[in-house]
Amino acid sequence: MPTTLPAILTIAVLVTAIVLFLTNRLRPDLIALLVLVVLGLSGTLTPQEAFSGFSRSAVVTIVAIFVLAQGLYLTGASARVGEWLVRVAGTSERHLVVVVMAAGAFLSLFMNNIAAASVLLPAVSGAAQRRSVSASRLLMPLAFGTILGGMATLFTTVNIIASGLLREHDLPGFGVLDFAPVGLLATAAGILYMAQWGRLALPAQSAAEHLAAAEEGADLAEVYRLEERLFRARIPPGSYLDGKPLAQSTFREHFNLNVVAIEHQGRTLVAPGPEQVLHTGDVLTLEGILDDFRRQDTEPYLEILPAQGLHESDLESGEIEVAEIVLTPRSALLGKTLAEMHFRDKYGFTALGIWRGGRPIRRGLAHLRLEFGDALLIQGPRRRLPILRAERDLILLAAGTTRDLAPHPARMWIAIGILAVALLAAATGLAPTAEAVLAGGLLMVLVGCLTMEEAYAAIEWKAVFLVAGMLSLGLALTKTGVADWLAGALVQGLGPYGGYAVLAGLFVLTALLTQALSGQAVVAIVIPLAIQSAVQLHVDPRSLTMAVALATSLAFLTPLGHPVNVLVMGPGGYKFTDYARVGLPLTLVVGAVILIALPFFWPL
């Protein structure tokens, strides 16, 4: 074990960072920046070395990929591809799973995995609704398909980092197509498993599950169990409410109630506006806690009526829609409450429930801080749905109407052409990958596929800072000899069984770490070990590096393994155990295919 002070400090920083990642006490990007600062202030790295991560070609490539993907999104190219693929899927559940996963895998070849899933989410939800298939049978396959597709391309963050780290050690990096042979085989195996067997382990169709199948009679009102929060009351003679507009009723201010519908002279007005005048004899459908209201209400304010069954159709009319939305991964609404963002005033919709962690929440919605993965059940005017579709902080799931045109639809084919040229230049070696994709992103801005403001907004800065910070830790591991020491221990333990045993050991170690840590952090830590192990074994470092990069994509066991798993958790109504039940066999199948195929394409 290295005994120098820099080496001991590097080991301490490594262990501390892993513990912080596992405990989730701090944000991953903040942890990475703290690592960078500690290594720089301690003198383990020079200032130039500590901040070198921000100037590396890997980081530039990651930034450029975000811009290219946003150009495809804003011109409608990615949505057009996704919706077309879902349209031709047929009617059987097996075919739907195959096409949904193939669509996710295809888009993730050129886009960030989360962006690909976000684009396809509304189309997949709509396809499930039209074909009477539970969305819970399609959304996890969608997430897994995007993760699998990321294996087959250089343009996945971890693969970009892996290639950059090879170049840092004066070794040839990976080309655009180098991941394709093994990655495509692994993707095909994963899709086959999910279509044939994996889908059978997904949550069964039932009214208790989120977005249950329509043929079983379940709807959103039943799924969110709104009947537990809704009650009906009549305005009796002599009530102070007679003749007052809804805005002056004090229902929300004094009783924490929302008026969902008003029955007046045989007509039902759903989602009434604040100007709606109340009259004696009107029957109100109220959302809130009945027992709390009973304790505060004084007769003759309202006359509580007997409970009756509630369905989604009771909350809708020709002008009023009940729909679901989810928050995008980089939504500015994360961590805010509905009250803080003035949700109803801004969008014109009322939140009736929030689906989180496999169960509905119906109490205290106005002051509940929103989390990534939440699904919101909302009610409001159908004419305002385009406002929700245009909102980049939200994803509107299927709501009976088609998606609006993208902001820059006239430049769709220009965006596709620019992407094709950039990829061709990188694949053929006409230009280095970083320069080729950055030039493509800038060209999209110049021709109007997106603005610079839209380009900056598209970049996932958390990922950039995480990568840059963890690259400094990887550099410290190599510079202080810690990577060499850890690699020696690995080679000593597995080396007698051959280079393939070391490759398999690194693969399994990476796959296990990926279930709890960010893939970007894992690859920055493990690849220096892989390169040093290859040097000691006198085998091709690119083979071991490829194994580590591919292993970071085996993020199927928990929703925490990859953000795209969290994205579909709310809309799919999944629990933690669902990921383990479906993801463990998938991990074993895909892992076995990679370990078998890798030596044929990347011999040791």
The pLDDT of residue 542 = 93
Residue 203 pLDDT: 77
Question: 211 with 573: CB under 8 angstroms?
Answer: yes
Q: Across residues 434-456, what is the average pLDDT?
A: 90
Dihedral sign for Cα atoms in the order 421, 427, 433, 435: negative
Q: What is the pLDDT at residue 62?
A: 82
Phi and psi for 209 in degrees, rounded to 5? -95, 155
Return the number of other C-beta atoms located less than 10 Å from residue 290's C-beta: 17
- In three-state form (DSSP H/G/I as H, E/B as E, the rest C), the secondary structure along 477-541 is HHHCCHHHHHHHHHHHHHHHHCHHHHHHHHHHHHHHHHCCCCHHHHHHHHHHHHHHHHHHHCCCH
List the domain boundaries for the chain: 9-205+416-601, 221-310, 319-396
pLDDT digits (tens, 9 = 90+) for 60-106: 888 888 888 888 888 877 777 766 766 666 667 888 888 889 988 98
Could you give the angle at which helices 499-514 and 482-494 cross, rounded to 10 degrees? 120
Q: Which of 158-172, 309-323, 554-568 has the highest mean pLDDT?
A: 158-172
- What is the SS3 assignment for 233? strand
User: Would the pLDDT of 262 be above 60?
Assistant: yes
263 beta partners: 268, 283
Q: What is the pLDDT of residue 38?
A: 92
DSSP 204: P
**Sheet of 283-287, strands arranged across:** 267-270, 258-264, 283-287, 230-234, 303-304
pLDDT in tens, 210-230: 444 333 334 566 667 666 677
Report the pLDDT averaged over residues 289-318: 68
- pLDDT average, residue stretch 451-460: 85
* Kind and range of the H or E run holding 411: none
β-strands 303-304, 230-234: how paired? antiparallel
Q: Please state, for a pLDDT cut of 90, what percent of the chain lies above it.
A: 18
Q: What is the mean pLDDT of residues 255-281?
A: 82
Query: pLDDT band for position 599 (50/70/90)?
Result: very high
Residue 148 and residue 192 in contact, taking contact as beta carbons nearer than 8 Å? no
Number of neighbouring beta carbons within 10 Å of residue 16? 14
Output the CATH code of domain 319-396: 3.30.70.1450
| Region 221-310: CATH code | 3.30.70.1450
* pLDDT at 34 exceeding the cut of 60: yes
3-state secondary structure of 399: coil
Rounded distance, CA 420 to CA 407, Å? Answer: 21
Neighbours of 302 (CB within 10 A): 24
Tell the residue number behind the tokens 């684009």, with chain if given: 119
First to last CA, the chain: 27
Structure tokens at 604: 């040791």
Instruction: Write the pLDDT tens digit of every residue in 493-525.
Output: 888 888 899 999 999 989 988 887 778 888 888
Looking at residue 339, what DSSP letter applies? T
Average pLDDT for the chain: 82
Q: pLDDT, tens digit, for every residue of 136-167?
A: 888 899 999 999 998 998 888 888 889 988 98
The answer to whether the CB of 112 falls within 8 A of the CB of 69 is: yes
CATH topology agreement for domains 221-310 and 319-396:
yes
How far apart CA 515 and CA 587 sit, in angstroms, is 11
Q: In 10 A of CB 196, how many CB atoms? A: 12
| Rounded Cα distance, 226 and 584, in Å | 35
Strand boundaries in 180-236, DSSP class E: 230-234
- Mean per-residue pLDDT for 580-588? 93
Helix (H) or strand (E) holding 49: helix 47-50
Give the predicted TM-score (pTM) of the model: 0.72
Residues with Cβ within 8 Å of 454's Cβ and at least 6 positions away in sequence, in order, are 70, 74
* Lowest mean pLDDT across 67-71, 128-132, 135-139, 600-604: 128-132
Q: Is a pLDDT exceeding 80 seen at residue 466? A: yes
DSSP 230: E
Residue 587 or residue 517, greater confidence:
587
Cβ–Cβ under 8 Å, residues 255 and 288: yes
**Cα–Cα nearest to 120, from 152, 154, 84:** 84
- How many CB atoms within 10 Å of residue 121? 27
Quick one: pLDDT at residue 89?
63
List, for residues 380-433, the tens digit of each pLDDT value. 887 777 777 777 778 887 554 444 445 667 888 898 899 889 888 887 878 888
pLDDT tens for each residue of 157-214: 888 889 988 988 889 989 888 999 999 999 999 999 999 998 888 875 433 344 443 3
pLDDT of 314 reads: 60
Q: What is the DSSP string of 136-159?
A: GGTHHHHHHHHHHHGGG-TTSHHH
pLDDT for 83: 66
Cα 213 versus chain centre, distance: 23
Structure tokens at 320: 């009023």
